[in-house]
Structure 1
Amino acid sequence: MAGLDSPGVKERMLAGEVVVGTFIQTPHPVVCEFLAGMGLGMLCLEAEHSAMGAETVQSLVAACERGGAEALVRIADNDWTYVAGALDAGASGIICPRINTAAEAKTLINASLYPPVGERGIGPGRVTAYGYNAGPDYRARANARNLIAVQVETKAAVKNLDAILGVKGLDMVFIGPADLTSSLGLTGMDDPKLQSTIESILLETQAAGKLTGIFAGNPAGAAHWISKGTNLVLLASDLMFMGNGATDARSQLEALLAG
């Protein structure tokens, strides 16, 4: 199993690397092992909008490692159980959805980081070889290595962004364009108001010295946000890759048969 000695995705970004990964929606280790070998910088397990429980998350984190990729987890909610389940399983960090206030961000940090910054509990999880590899510097190393990201995806979060960014221990603001579109009352993600709002979030977050991340549905979108200085882009998902591949193959075959 992966330890805490190697640089994590957070440390790679702080060193200047732009990390491109994808969401994993399919709760099966074969998908993780396969995509881990496709050259992506990391894989993010989608535990918010899927049927992934704690046991599945741990299995998929291990599968990512076997394939040579780090795993992040978008947890289901801002709850200590979900946070502990992901980090104790060995994930290199978490993305927490629906963080709208500084108080909610502080709750997340308390659950995610060991004292003196937070109040994360100590347990014999997979990340410490089930308690047999938790040396005296383990807690400090885990605090330094793990990526703790809040997802900004509502009008309330945008309004409270300055206060959220002031929470000690927060590493990244990850932008959810789809939910932000809905919260702003817009009809599509190509709306100029959405684009300007996202750019404002990026600029404010960067000015605060925090990392930035965003979801992009296609390579053009990913390239656009990378050009704006985004540190992490989650490009599409395993199901989107499969769907696009199947659709393209069918369209090509139909064109060949019609010609």
Structure 2
Amino acid sequence: MSLHLAPPFPHLFDASDRPKTGLWICSGSPTAAEIIGGSGCDWVLIDGEHSPITVEKTLSLLQAVAAYPVVPVVRVPVNDTVLIKQFLDLGAQNIMVPMVHTAEDARRAVAAMHYPPRGVRGVGSALARSSRWNLVDNYLAHAAESISLIVQIESAEAVSQAAEIAGTEGVDALFIGPSDLAASMGYLGQQTHPEVLDNVRRTIAAAKEARVVVGVNCFNLEQARSYAEQGVDFIAIGADVQILASGSQAMLAKFNS
């Protein structure tokens, strides 16, 4: 028996006339992950940075959404070679790396994604879900074809180097984080400040110039539509915990009024 892995995240954007919408999975609940997976969104972000989701928990969440027509993206907590290796080995095909401020940061993330001589990823695929325990034919030779790297632009420094980061070989997509970007600019909590919006626009333009897929995080639906009009390829518009919190509060407020 032999298996073949599905293509990675960037292929989701082929021949699309709208940005692909995504939702975060932050709770760590496989049940919530299934609900999000069946919601009709195009992709899900399993968040290992701002949540209690560990490497082991990520595996159960990947398994939970596997039955649904969504593309899972796993955000690692930090740009770390060992952690990226672990998430890849457990079968995460689409890795998002936060806080990539420079082209050197981007090159380090690329190296962590790939086996030598291209990179520094340790070889343990025979023991790992990534190769389905050697059921994937010639996994080592073709691993690069089944993974993608998304790097986050979320600081003023990163915006200034966006063109170089986008042009880094091995970077498949940029994902803009307006919240941390605003904080780095001295506008904490002001994601729609005009200067923040201008830096987001500049980053989108840099990605388009480099012909690299670009996305953005935005839970403000009105602003999200504005980003869609600017030509982003993918966008995250909500999270399981945020939907539960806002939905439950709105229902109680409506009933109690």
Match of 1:249 among 242, 247, 251: 251
Q: Which residue of 1 aligns with 2:200?
A: 198
Contact 1:77 1:96 in 2 (8 A): yes
**Cα distance in structure 2, aligned partners of 1:33 and 1:142:** 27
SS at match of 2:16: coil
TM-score, with length taken from structure 2: 0.90
Contact 2:4 2:136 in 1 (8 A): no
Q: Which moved more, 1:16-25 or 1:144-153?
A: 16-25
What is the CA deviation profile of residues 87-132 of structure 1, one whole-angstrom value per residue up to 9, with x for unaligned ones? 22222311111111111111100111234532322322112112x2
SS at match of 2:199: helix
Contact 1:112 1:148 in 2 (8 A): yes
What is the CA deviation profile of residues 54-92 of structure 1, one whole-angstrom value per residue up to 9, with x for unaligned ones? 111111111111344331111100112221222222223
Gaps of 5+ in 1: none
SS at match of 1:100: coil
What is the CA deviation profile of residues 179-201 of structure 1, one whole-angstrom value per residue up to 9, with x for unaligned ones? 00010112511211111110010
SS at match of 1:20: strand
TM-score, with length taken from structure 1: 0.90
The alpha carbon displacement at 1:152 in A equals 0.8
Matched residue type, 1:126: R
The alpha carbon displacement at 1:228 in A equals 1.1
What is the CA deviation profile of residues 143-184 of structure 1, one whole-angstrom value per residue up to 9, with x for unaligned ones? 233220111111111122232223111111110100000101
Contact 1:4 1:141 in 2 (8 A): no
Specify whether residues 53 and 5 from structure 1 end up closer, same or farther in structure 2 by C-alpha distance, changes over 3 A only: closer
Specify whether residues 153 and 50 from structure 1 end up closer, same or farther in structure 2 by C-alpha distance, changes over 3 A only: same
Q: Which residue of 2 aligns with 1:147?
A: 148
What is the CA deviation profile of residues 15-65 of structure 1, one whole-angstrom value per residue up to 9, with x for unaligned ones? 436321111111121111121111111211110011121111111111111
1:51 aligns with 2:52: yes
**Cα distance in structure 2, aligned partners of 1:45 and 1:250:** 29
SS at match of 1:142: helix
Q: Which moved more, 1:61-70 or 1:145-154?
A: 61-70
Please show how residues 3-152 of structure 1 align to structure 2 within 5 Å.
Answer: 4-16=4-16, 18-123=19-124, 124-130=127-133, 132-136=134-138, 138-139=139-140, 141-152=142-153
Matched residue type, 1:191: H
Q: Which residue of 2 aligns with 1:211?
A: 213
Matched residue type, 2:121: R
**Cα distance in structure 2, aligned partners of 1:173 and 1:26:** 24
Gaps of 5+ in 2: none
What is the CA deviation profile of residues 196-236 of structure 1, one whole-angstrom value per residue up to 9, with x for unaligned ones? 11001000111001110110113323222121111111111
Contact 1:215 1:234 in 2 (8 A): yes
**Cα distance in structure 2, aligned partners of 1:206 and 1:14:** 15
**Cα distance in structure 2, aligned partners of 1:228 and 1:88:** 36
Specify whether residues 141 and 218 from structure 1 end up closer, same or farther in structure 2 by C-alpha distance, changes over 3 A only: farther
SS at match of 1:16: coil
Q: Which moved more, 1:197-206 or 1:142-151?
A: 142-151
**How many residues align structurally?**
251
SS at match of 2:66: helix
